[in-house]
Amino acid sequence: QVHVAYSGGGSVQAGGSLRLSCATSGYTYTRTCMGWFRLVPGKEREGIATIEEDGTITYAESVKGRFTVSRDKTEKTLYLQMNSLKSEDTAVYYCAAELRSPGLCHYRDPTLRGLGEGTQVTVSS
């Protein structure tokens, strides 16, 4: 069973920044695809970004240029640096860590399962 601990969520004014962290444990598989997606009540799930073991990254157009995903493979921790936040970024953010073959790690993958309860990000305008 994969365990997760989130940190870094919270409230911020529009234009501000937050850095989310997702520390995972409890799995031994490699070739891990890690990623972020977000949920807003009444809206479809929105994939944000993914990063493969080899560092290959994908971003949704809505966050490209504002968000940066990174990972610490040794610590199995995923990060999301969010800059120039907008009110529409308000959501519960989830991280995922799944076994995927190379080239099959993409933010649009709807089968990436969110871990734990996620972390709330609220951006006020």
Tens of pLDDT along 77-117? 999 999 999 999 999 999 999 999 889 999 999 999 999 99
Q: How far does CA 121 lie from the centroid of its chain?
A: 12
Q: What's the rounded mean pLDDT across residues 27-44?
A: 89
Q: Which candidate, 108, 88, 94, 96, places its Cα nearest to that of 43?
A: 88
d(CA 20, CA 81): 6
